[in-house]
Amino acid sequence: EVQLVESGGGLVQPGGSLRLSCVVSGYTYSMTCMGWFRQAPGKEREGVAAIDSDGRLSYGDSVKGRFTISKSNAKNTLYLQMNSLKPEDTAMYYCAAHGNPGLYCRYYNYHDMDYWGKGTLVTISS
């Protein structure tokens, strides 16, 4: 069974940086798409970034140029480097993945994700 565990959230001042990590265990070789999604209180879940098995990247417009998604196959870990953080980035951040090579891997395809972590909370406040 695939398990995803996020870490790295916390309280940061506006303009600061955070790096989220997501360790994947289980059938990691079969994951063709991995991504980060977030959900703020009272709002719908939002796609942040995604990366496919070939390393192609996809970002939401609100984070483009500030966030960077990457992965280490050797460490079975997905990362999200977040810079120039804003109060509106405050949310629970979730790592997710699927193993279907027939599906697109885009930041907004959260409905296609089969495996989810429990989330890590990011709070941007002065």
110 vs 57: CA distance, rounded Å: 15
Residue 110 has pLDDT above 90, yes or no: no
What single-letter amino acid sits at 84? S
Q: What does residue 81 show for φ and ψ, rounded to 5 degrees? A: -85, 120
The predicted structure's pLDDT at residue 112: 92
96 vs 75: CA distance, rounded Å: 16
Q: What is the mean pLDDT of residues 80-95?
A: 98
Distance of CA 74 to the CA centre of its chain: 18
The predicted structure's pLDDT at residue 29: 67
Convert the pLDDT of each residue in 25-59 to its tens digit: 987 667 889 999 999 999 999 999 999 999 999 99
The predicted structure's pLDDT at residue 28: 67
Q: How are strands ordered across the β-sheet holding 77-82?
A: 3-7, 18-25, 77-82, 67-72
